[in-house]
Amino acid sequence: MSNAEAKASRPLSPHLQIYRWPITMTMSILHRATGVALYGGTLLLAWWLIAAAAGPGPFEFANAVFGSWIGRIVLFGYTWVLLHHLLGGLRHFVWDVGAGFSKSARDNLAWANIIGSAALTILVWIVALALS
């Protein structure tokens, strides 16, 4: 068998439209993506703190930006990113202590991360809006 024939007989990798991602793989990618997104959100938080230190004019402008509908969507997203990454870190901590390695435990922790981050984000915003 020639080299070309051997390559032609190899199985093809599944395409992303066919391959079903396990929840743990999805959570791994999301954990990395939320870690990257935290940089952008932290820059916005730093801008707000610098504006507060700079005086009433810059602070009012920053508050107007964050108080707009698009600003609130960004803040809602930042809240979810922060809480999702936090819960993902706790999921990794469970693994670091040697627990949660069975398939069902891994899947349950992944789903708890998704559901918990969504629920906590909504709860934080309900409390924040009730206090404002």
Q: What is the pLDDT of residues 39-84, one digit of tens each?
A: 999 999 999 999 999 999 999 999 999 999 999 999 999 999 999 9
Owner of token pair 């743990």: 24
Rounded CA-CA distance 116/89 in Å is: 13
**pTM for this entry:** 0.84
Domains of the chain: 22-131 (1.20.1300.10)
Amino acid 49: pLDDT: 97
| DSSP H or E run through 19 | none
Amino acid 6: pLDDT: 60
Rounded CA-CA distance 118/120 in Å is: 6
Percent of the chain residues topping a pLDDT of 90: 83
Instruction: Calculate the average pLDDT of the chain.
Output: 92
Rounded CA-CA distance 79/118 in Å is: 10
Assess whether pLDDT exceeds 70 at residue 2. Answer: no
**pLDDT interval class at 14 (50, 70, 90):** low
